[in-house]
Structure formats: structure tokens, C-alpha cells
Amino acid sequence: DRWRKEIARFCAQTTFEDLTIHEDSESEMEAHVRFTATLTQGDQDATFTEDSRFLMLDGQWRYLSAIVN
């Protein structure tokens, strides 16, 4: 329940402005996506770039981990 409240608070305080995909790669069982999410929280820039890793499980891509730059 705490997790849900934290996510709801984040969403209420954050404006999602843009998403830029810089690169992606995919094999049969694993994929990587490097992107920049442009966000603001109040009057502060909260933009971040992430390298995400996904695995194919039961026929669906599942988020596994990230490196945030």
C-alpha cells in the first residue's frame, strides 16, 4: 500500500513532457532501450536518461533492470 501511495504522489507532482528513444536493440530473449524522459516536478527539471533491460518471459517483454545516468 505504501508503494501505491508513493507512485500516486509522484504522478500527481510530475508532468511528463517528452520521451526520446536514443537507441534500442533486440534479440530473441533480451532487449535494451536507451531513452530520455523529460519531466518537471513543480518548477524543477526532473529529466533523466535510462538504459533499460527487458527479458522475454511467457511471450511478453518484462522490464528487468535499469542504469540511470
pLDDT digits 0-9 by tens, 6-57: 999 999 999 999 999 999 999 999 999 999 999 999 999 999 999 999 999 9
CA torsion sign, 54 to 3 to 20 to 50?
negative
Q: What is the 3-state secondary structure (H, E, C) of 14-35?
A: EEEEEEEEEEEEECCCEEEEEE
**What is the pTM assigned to this prediction?**
0.79
Question: What would the pLDDT profile of 44-53 be if each residue is shown by its tens digit?
Answer: 999 999 999 9
